[in-house]
Chain A
Amino acid sequence: MCGIVGLAGVEDAALVRCMAEAVAHRGPDGEGFFVGDGVSLGMRRLSIIDPAGSDQPLWSEDRQVLTICNGEIYNYRRLRTQLEKRGHSFRTAGDAETIVHAHEEYGDAGVHLLRGMFAYAVWDRRQRRLLLVRDRLGIKPLYYAQAGATLAFASEVKALLAVPGVSRALDVEALQRYLTLGYVPGPATILTAVRKLPPGHRLAWQAGRVEVRQYWDLVLDEGARRLPARAAAEAFREQLEDSVAHHQISDVPLGVLLSGGIDSAAVTALLAGGGRRVKTFTVGFEAGDGDEGELVAARTVARHFDTEHHEIVLGSGLADILPEIVRMQDEPLADPATVATFFVCRLAAGSVKVVLTGEGGDELLGGYPRYGWLRLGERLRRRPGLRAAARALLASLPHGVAGGRISQRLATLVGPAALEDRHLDWVATLSGDVQHALTGDGGRTAAGALVRELVGRSGTGDPVHDLMYADVKTWLPDDVLVKTDRMSMAASIEARVPLLDHRLMEFTASLPASMKAGTLATKALLRQALGRDLPAATRRRRKRAFLVPLRRWLGGELRELLHDSLTSASARSRGLVRPEAVARLLHEQRSGRHDHGRALWTLLCLELWLTTVGDAAAAAHD
């Protein structure tokens, strides 16, 4: 795992060093640079495979092609054999060198050979052409910015901010979408000048011209011939075993981040099946919020597989560390689970350099209850009688805290809104009313348009598959994987996500949606595939959002930070949200009349990001 940075069209050793310094936490073990041919490339290395060799950049035999890479190529041994058969000679024992030789052999299409997580740059000295490639699902990040004929790229936004000429102006539309979703959906970033290279895309730069193209997309399908559920589960298990086996390849110790849920338990089960004792790591919160559940559930799994289990319980000190977490996130990201991930990665860093996680299971295997509910809704909506009855019930419900939840569910089922709007009702960080009061409806409209476009592009005709596709294109790379990458990198460890292996994804995508997300049962396929290996309590466990005691934090140790940040003179002067609406949220939260936890968290993360990273940006906006 590493950080890569670079400039095309400029030779500037000092600047590229400065950019690399900004991502030094991604690779504390070493660095490498290439400055010449009108380009400047740099990287910081965290050594996992072939720690002694594999210093980057890596070169082709004739020194005409070189690469810098962030990530892991899990099938590198097999690839190496294939490429050696075609006459290539390898100088290192590492995985990244396969990229150079695959590029020599297949050019841009070489990426199709790679199985893994990666973001890499290839400089072809003959053609004077730079190629940037990001993995299929966006597990590893890659940002870029253009200033005239110069292209700057980096694993993290921070490094691009070191480049003169890259404007820090805020993208106000992106900010609006952030307020709706809690993250900034790509390819935009919070800064107008900086773009994300979308997952499954490559970018070519030649003589100042930039071309971005997609090379891979996920195709969901109901399957022409119905596979019996048991047979599908067996085949799925085989694929998952294969993926976990590939994700174990490492020359340094590895462990598992155990959440107590079924995904990370499944990964643990398959690792433990390999015979070695697994190290597991779990984060929990102080008792009193019912959040011990997570710790207890994880302990059950750990005991069952006799792992070397480590726990961390979050106590105080959050207010001091939160600004640092926000800074590491690179962009505003209002996912409270980030805090938990930060601490559990720091815990794991004490004993391992690589961790496997269960990330991706919810998107791939239908872990979100909303999939089932929305499908049920689509069915009910086709029956006028039932629909009318449910709408009458909906209209008669009183407003209140409990009633609010029930009526939200009902509205999701039978409400008149379009699928994408009902989906947004479910996932939005701000309710429509709150966002309206804060900024107007622009963000919600834009987010709705984005989901609608993705649902249209998916085009499977099955609402569950279409929404899964939308999640895989937005929420997964721009929230879940940002959280996983940045927080693991902040602790200088590598996180691997075996459930997001593209071959496993492609197989699962070809199974009927009903096998993944039942109306009331989530992850039926995974439960059936691994059921007998897991403790009964884990197998039966219902999906729950990662419960962070947000309300307690905001009312307790973060209370001052929250108040000071959101009501400071600089916050009020930015003009991004209406101060009186913010004041009302704060007041209602304090008085206990409403729980605006997620809304306030979204605003707090934004404000902290603006003060720690984007001060100049805000100034530019004013």
Chain B
Amino acid sequence: MRLLLLTIDFPPGRGGVQTLLAQLATGLARTWDVVVVTPAAAGDQRWDAAQAYAVRRSWPAAWGLAALVGLHARALVALLGRRPDVLVCGHVLLGPFCRLVSVLLRVPYVAMAYAYEIRAPRLRPIAGLALRGARRVVTISEFGRRAVQAHGVAPASVVVVHPGAVERAPATTSTREPAPGRVVLTVGRLVDGYKGHDMVIRAMPLILARLPGVRYVVVGDGPRRAYLERLAVAHGVSHAVRFVGEVSDDEVDAWYRRCEVFVLAGRESDADGGAEGYGIACVEASLRGKPVVGGRSGGIPDAVVDGETGMLVDPLDPADIADAVTRLLAEPELAARLGRAGRRRALDELAWSRVTERMSRVLAQAAAG
């Protein structure tokens, strides 16, 4: 059966959505004839050549509106040429186009829905249009399911597929900066407030009061970094917070292995729809056998099983965050138990073979009507 995946986000670009779609494409390519249509990006030729499926590139995403037009045109050419059995709409912005071709060319489509893009007030009308016209909507957490259903999509056509993490050979490089002390880690871009770095920084004085050797390592970069750095100074903990910036995949991997506790204290902002759709970084940490402290918000409860692979906390309460982190650092057996269970879950329930299998079933159902 033929599958066409239309997406704005795709490797070599980095991010949770990029990784998810590429992993799905690779997995599905074993049983499906997969073609991906996506904008060009630096280094894409080398990347594309290594894949077991075809990638068609349109104008670079940096071109803005023109890129969107180009992507649509490229997709139309591919559609007319191949007549796929099912179309995957990688982002709701592409939804109106998918809905139109589903009517005109009678190609059913499956819409991917994450979190922010279907909750943002600005995108509401377009998201509704995209989601309601889809044969199936695939989302990544129960939180995503609720957000999709809030658009009036019938419960029966919404499917949750939890993404997994990618197992890789242990990096040969180590963390370039050997941070002394016990490392508490967050990995994520420093763009949105909802990721909760600020609350971990506010929790640091309380953590340090009990365990003075703890260091909070922040991997990732973005426009919010300067604010977070000033926040660390304002709370008197700048000596214990390290901003590593954006680093190579190898080095990220090394930090995951280096840390004792991983934190993602995400919170929901009803105001602008911001929220962690799932928190793939938590699963990445689990895969390395690390206990996770997650904010009880958004899709994080799907990525972290409370009391089993980590602990869920009130993301707005620094004391709650501090207590969970401190407990995991102070009770190595507990930390190890949660870490082991997390790794088991990542390798078993969230194994990519399982994830693609689930996705494949949904696509087959959609193609069949």
Contacts and interface: CB of A to CB of B under 8 A. Distances in A.
Contact of A113 (B193, B234, B319): B319
A479 interface: no
B190 to A, nearest CB: 8
Contacts of B323: 82
B210 A112 contact: no
Interface string A217-229: 1110101110110
A239 B222 CA distance: 27
Interface stretch (B90-98, B157-165, B173-181, B269-277): B269-277
Given A215-B235, A231-B121, A225 B272 contact: yes
A113 B322 CA distance: 11
Most chain B CB neighbours (cut-off 10 Å) among A109, A110, A228: A109
Nearest to A237: B271
A292 to B, nearest CB: 40
Contact of A219 (B205, B234, B319): B234
Interface stretch (B16-24, B223-231, B279-287, B352-360): B223-231
Contact of A224 (B122, B191, B231): B191
Interface string B305-333: 00000000000001110010000000000
Contacts of B101: none
A214 B236 contact: yes
A593 interface: no
A215 B236 contact: yes
18 contacts: A79-B319, A106-B209, A109-B208, A112-B202, A215-B205, A216-B235, A217-B234, A217-B235, A218-B234, A219-B230, A221-B230, A223-B193, A230-B121, A234-B270, A234-B271, A235-B271, A238-B270, A459-B230
B265 to A, nearest CB: 15
A5 to B, nearest CB: 28
Contacts of B234: 216-219
B206 interface: yes
Contact of B227 (A79, A108, A221, A228): A221
Nearest to B269: A235
Given A216-B234, A217-B234, A224-B222, A113 B227 contact: no
B316 to A, nearest CB: 8
B192 interface: yes
B154 interface: no
B209 A107 contact: yes
Interface residues on B, range: 20 to 34
A232 interface: yes
Interface in B94-117: none
B233 interface: yes
B192 A106 contact: no
Interface of A: 79, 82, 105-110, 112-113, 213-219, 221, 223-225, 227-228, 230-232, 234-235, 238, 459, 510
A514 B191 CA distance: 20
| B contact patch SS | helix
Contacts of B227: 219, 221, 224, 510
A82 to B, nearest CB: 6
Contacts of A213: 236
A106 B223 contact: no
A391 to B, nearest CB: 35
Nearest to A83: B319
B193 A224 contact: yes
Nearest to B232: A219
Contact of B318 (A112, A228, A238): A112
Nearest to A86: B323
Nearest to B236: A215
A232 B269 CA distance: 10
Contacts of A107: 209
A112 B318 CA distance: 9
Nearest to A106: B209
Contacts of B271: 227, 231-232, 234-235
Residue of B231, B272, B274, B320 with highest tally of chain A CB at under 10 A:
B272
Contacts of A82: 319-320, 323
A235 B316 CA distance: 14
A217 B233 contact: yes
Nearest to A213: B236
Contact of A227 (B202, B205, B233, B272): B272
A84 B340 CA distance: 31
A106 B209 CA distance: 5
